[in-house]
Amino acid sequence: MLRGWDKYKGEKDISACGLIAFINQDGERCSGEKITQAMTFMRERGNGLGAGYAAYGIYPEYKDYYALHLMFDTIEAKKHTEEFLYNNFQIVNSGEIQTKGIQGIKNSPIHWRYFVEPFQEVVENKTEEDFVVEKVMEINKKIDGAFVTSSGKNMGCFKGVGYPEDIAEFFMLDKYQGHTWMAHSRFPTNSPGWWGGAHPFNLLDWSIVHNGEISSYGTNKRYLEMFGYECSLMTDTEVVAYLIDLLVRRHKLPFEIACSILAPPFWKRIDVMDERARELYQTLRVVYASALLNGPFAFVIGHKNGIIGLSDRVKLRPLVAAVDNNTTYISSEEAAIIGICPNPERIWHPKAGEPVIAEIKVPVG
């Protein structure tokens, strides 16, 4: 079932999540076979309790509409959700997300896809994106047995309980073409291994894959709730997606500044900066103190125009990057990159708290 975790409830495993993402900066698309292959080189980083993929550029024929991917426990949950959607959105197309029955996937929920546009008369004084965020939060919190997997335009998340290669086969990702792909193999530590709890976590165009632990989750959660975000998905990673939405979309901050808020320099480093830099980082540390992420982490943020890799301020989780032929790769391990790109032009290990930012050359929207 969607929220079932009975078999593994109470167990705690050693953290080992694996992640990889790549983007073709010319906007050229490829199928999900390539990233599925990359994940096979990190199989030991997962234990079959969660895996998933995010892909951008996969719905060009519906690129102007929000592509809502949903999971349902029951037909009744689907019925209630569709009533909610019909009251708030024009649904231009909908249908079951095609899946393939395989031995490694058990107890799958119902997977459905809706291409929607908000009714302008119900948006009222909000921006269209704020309205979509509000409705996604309502579904996740108030409709029992329903969960929004992804809600961006021209993109989608495909995830569940299983190993990465099983999830890819289950959702037939070889049939999709995208210019940006992200993948994750989960090894649950402090939160349940359930279908909605697999990575990526998504809100609008933002998708997050994460290795590690956000020990500041409580502080981050309370801070986000001040701005109307609801954390209801039973995992610490959820706050990263919402913080990025808040900092970049709502507060209009550049990615570099947002990363400096999430993984800022230590005070002892700020104290020896030149006056201008010191004033900037002191201000960020004070104004956005509750947005700082503590704990060991490495994650990749995906959005409609690119990917961003970031590790914690001590780099307690690995992160490696590479570039080859206008494609940028970010991963937990070199092996995953080399497995699909044997001779990259450049490969490097970013410093602690140093973001890797790659974007397509012709921005979308």
Report the alpha-carbon distance of residue 111 to residue 286 in Å, rounded: 43
Report the percentage of the chain scoring pLDDT > 90: 77
Residues 139, 78 contacting (CB under 8 angstroms)? no
Res 279: pLDDT: 96
Fold type of domain 18-359: Glutamine Phosphoribosylpyrophosphate, subunit 1, domain 1 (3.60.20)
Residue 124 pLDDT class (50, 70, 90 cuts) = confident
Using the predicted structure, report yes or no on whether residue 159 has a pLDDT greater than 50.
yes
- Report the chain's mean pLDDT, rounded to a whole number: 91
Using the predicted structure, report yes or no on whether residue 6 has a pLDDT greater than 80.
no
Using the predicted structure, report yes or no on whether residue 2 has a pLDDT greater than 50.
no
Residue 13 pLDDT class (50, 70, 90 cuts) = very low
Using the predicted structure, report yes or no on whether residue 8 has a pLDDT greater than 90.
no
As a whole number, mean pLDDT of residues 278-296 equals 95
Q: Which of 39-53, 99-113, 146-160, 195-209 has the lowest mean pLDDT?
A: 39-53
Structure tokens given for 50: 């969660």
Using the predicted structure, report yes or no on whether residue 43 has a pLDDT greater than 70.
yes
Q: Which of 83-97, 187-201, 230-244 has the lowest mean pLDDT?
A: 187-201
Residue 189 pLDDT class (50, 70, 90 cuts) = low
| Most trustworthy range by pLDDT among 41-50, 62-71, 99-108 | 62-71
Report the alpha-carbon distance of residue 341 to residue 325 in Å, rounded: 10
Domain boundaries, the chain: 18-359
Confirm whether 231 is a catalytic residue: no
The closest of 207, 267, 220, 145 to 21, measured between CA atoms, is 207
Res 188: pLDDT: 64
Torsion of CA 224, 311, 347, 159, to 10 degrees: -50
Using the predicted structure, report yes or no on whether residue 231 has a pLDDT greater than 90.
no
Q: Which of 104-108, 129-133, 139-143, 240-244 has the lowest mean pLDDT?
A: 104-108
In 19-102, alpha helices (H): 33-39, 75-88
The pTM is what?
0.92
Using the predicted structure, report yes or no on whether residue 254 has a pLDDT greater than 60.
yes
Using the predicted structure, report yes or no on whether residue 191 has a pLDDT greater than 80.
no
Catalytic residue, candidates 17, 157, 231, 259: 17
The closest of 11, 28, 49, 7 to 360, measured between CA atoms, is 28
Phi and psi angles of residue 342, each rounded to the nearest 5 degrees, phi first: -60, -30
Res 123: pLDDT: 86
Per-residue pLDDT tens over the stretch 57-87: 999 999 999 999 999 999 999 999 999 999 9
Give the residue, 45 or 192, on which the prediction is more confident.
Answer: 45
Using the predicted structure, report yes or no on whether residue 364 has a pLDDT greater than 80.
no
Report the alpha-carbon distance of residue 19 to residue 309 in Å, rounded: 11
